[in-house]
Amino acid sequence: MLSNEQNASGSAEGTPSADSPTTSTKRVRDLHEMTHDELAELLSSLGQPSFRTKQVEEWIWTRHAMSFDEMTNLPADLRGTLAEICSLGGSEEIAKQVSRDGSRKYLLRFADGVAVECVGMPTGNRLAVCVSTQAGCRMGCVFCATGANGFTRSLRSDEIYEQVMYVGDDFATRVTSVVFMGQGEPFANYDQVLEALRRLNSPMGAGIGARHLTVSTCGVVPMIRRFAQEPEQFTLAVSLHSAIQQTRNYLMPGVHKYSLARLHDAMADYVERTGRRPTYEYALIAGVNDTENELEALMAFCQGTLAHVNLIQLNDCPGSRLKPSTQERAEQFVHGLGSVGVEATIRNSRGADIDAACGQLKQRHENKGKRSR
């Protein structure tokens, strides 16, 4: 599938500039881009009764119709007219990998040629989906393959939503949770991400509970404060990766201006305003952020807060000088954090036998294309 966005928070702390999703000038209008009122106006201009709007919205958002012929409760002449003047967008799968653990990673391409990754992770009768919010990323995290591909643009809300519906269709099951932890910094695309969250939560959308929708940020402080003021009970995760400023600046240069002290204050404000428990994500990297000094700093940063720490075994990417810590060291971190009353768990890594890390599949696909030319 193929609104400009504005990320003005009104905060004196300043807001990172967001890159508005691009639109094409030579194409019919995608129904997914229309607001409720715009769709209602279109259908009214075609002489249709008002209830048609809800019917069409159910087809495009809840049932993920891929053609107008599927909309069997609409009159045939209306389906034909809509097919002439509108499109249903969609995405094209250009690569897919299936892991032994059942996870599936996709590289999806939209109408303008932009491609992004998403992942489906089944567990029993549940299906979690990890979505991208930008094509590329400007944060420059040294352990992430996405930044190596450069930055193209931010995604529109319907393109984020499309990833969820595509994965659900491929698994032929309902998606039960979504994590915004794929390519891109969600809070550099705040308005479109929030719109996608609300559509995923809506009964007229995917109908996923707000607490099962998680946004992961590198720690963009003004947007964390803004997110704390939203009325829905969406879940927040912060990629921390070090509680020592110098180490964090090295690992995550894109957020160096948001100091750990400011981040700590913003998170305290978030907990006070929402009463919800945030998660700190911490990818353990051998010899970088898994030392005793790093553990002590992490314990001090989290002690007395409501936060949960999610320890991640770093994906061992070919050619990277960064290597994952041992399982034993991860367990020592869990014990250390527990000794000061901080709950911590070691995340069960998925897709270890495929290109699981953000940006890896896209990078492999692009490199393959270059070699074939």
Q: What is the CATH number of the domain that holds 366?
A: 3.20.20.70
Q: How confident is the model at residue 26 (pLDDT cuts 50, 70, 90)?
A: very low
Nearest to 355 by CA among 369, 373, 367: 367
Q: How many residues does the chain have?
A: 373
Quick check: is 10 in a domain? no
CA-to-CA distance for 102 and 314, rounded, in angstroms?
A: 20
Q: How confident is the model at residue 5 (pLDDT cuts 50, 70, 90)?
A: very low
Nearest to 92 by CA among 74, 61, 113, 73: 113
Nearest to 324 by CA among 264, 282, 358: 282
Which tokens sit at 288? 């970088």
**Of 349 and 192, more confident:** 192
Q: How confident is the model at residue 29 (pLDDT cuts 50, 70, 90)?
A: confident
Residues 170 and 33 in one domain: no
Nearest to 82 by CA among 98, 94, 65, 99: 65
Choice among 22-31, 116-125, 278-287 with the minimum mean pLDDT: 22-31
Is residue 196 predicted with pLDDT exceeding 60?
Answer: yes
pLDDT at 7: 42
pLDDT at 324: 92
Count of domains in the chain?
2
Q: What is the mean pLDDT of the chain?
A: 89
Residues 144 and 251 in one domain: yes
**Of 315 and 129, more confident:** 129
Which tokens sit at 123? 């567990």
User: Phi and psi of 20, rounded to 5°?
Assistant: -70, 140
How would you write 287-318 as a 3-class SS string? CCCCCHHHHHHHHHHHCCCCCEEEEEECCCCC
Quick check: is 5 in a domain? no
% of the chain residues with pLDDT over 90: 79
Specify the DSSP element, H or E, that contains 135. strand 134-136
pLDDT at 138: 92
Choice among 28-42, 136-150, 252-266, 293-307 with the minimum mean pLDDT: 136-150
Residues 68 and 126 in one domain: no
Q: Give the C-alpha distances (Å, rounded to integers) separating 77 from 12, 72, 84.
A: 54, 11, 11
Is residue 8 predicted with pLDDT exceeding 70?
Answer: no
Which tokens sit at 55? 């019917």
Nearest to 171 by CA among 135, 207, 122: 122
Which residues are the active-site residues? 117, 358
**Of 147 and 2, more confident:** 147
CA 205, 101, 170, 150 dihedral sign is positive
CA 46 to centroid of chain Cα atoms: 37
β partners of residue 236: 215
N-terminal to C-terminal alpha carbon distance within the chain? 28
Q: How confident is the model at residue 2 (pLDDT cuts 50, 70, 90)?
A: very low
Residues 162 and 178 in one domain: yes
Per-residue pLDDT, averaged over 17-44, amounts to: 75
Quick check: is 22 in a domain? no
Choice among 20-24, 97-101, 156-160, 363-367 with the minimum mean pLDDT: 20-24
Is residue 15 predicted with pLDDT exceeding 90?
Answer: no
CB 288 within 8 Å of CB 281: no
Quick check: is 16 in a domain? no
Specify the DSSP element, H or E, that contains 105. strand 104-109
Is residue 300 predicted with pLDDT exceeding 90?
Answer: yes
Where are the alpha helices (H) located in 5-73, listed in sequence order? 36-45, 51-57
Quick check: is 14 in a domain? no
Per-residue pLDDT, averaged over 291-309, amounts to: 97
Which tokens sit at 149? 């591909």
Residues 67 and 155 in one domain: no
Tens-digit pLDDT profile for residues 166-183: 999 999 999 999 999 999
Quick check: is 9 in a domain? no
Residues 75 and 170 in one domain: no
Residues 189 and 302 in one domain: yes
Residues 100 and 83 in one domain: no
Final residue belonging to a domain, choices 61, 87, 113: 87
The CA R_g of the chain, rounded to the nearest whole Å, is: 21
Residues 119 and 38 in one domain: no
Quick check: is 8 in a domain? no
Whole domain around residue 354: which residue ranges?
92-372
CB 213 within 8 Å of CB 178: yes
Residues 66 and 164 in one domain: no
CATH number of the domain residue 48 falls in: 1.10.150.530
Half-sphere exposure of 315 toward its Cβ, with a 13 Å CA cutoff? 18
Final residue belonging to a domain, choices 87, 104, 129: 87
pLDDT at 351: 72
Residues 211 and 339 in one domain: yes
Which tokens sit at 348? 């069960």
Quick check: is 235 in a domain? yes
Residues 163 and 287 in one domain: yes
Which tokens sit at 108? 């999806």
pLDDT at 292: 98
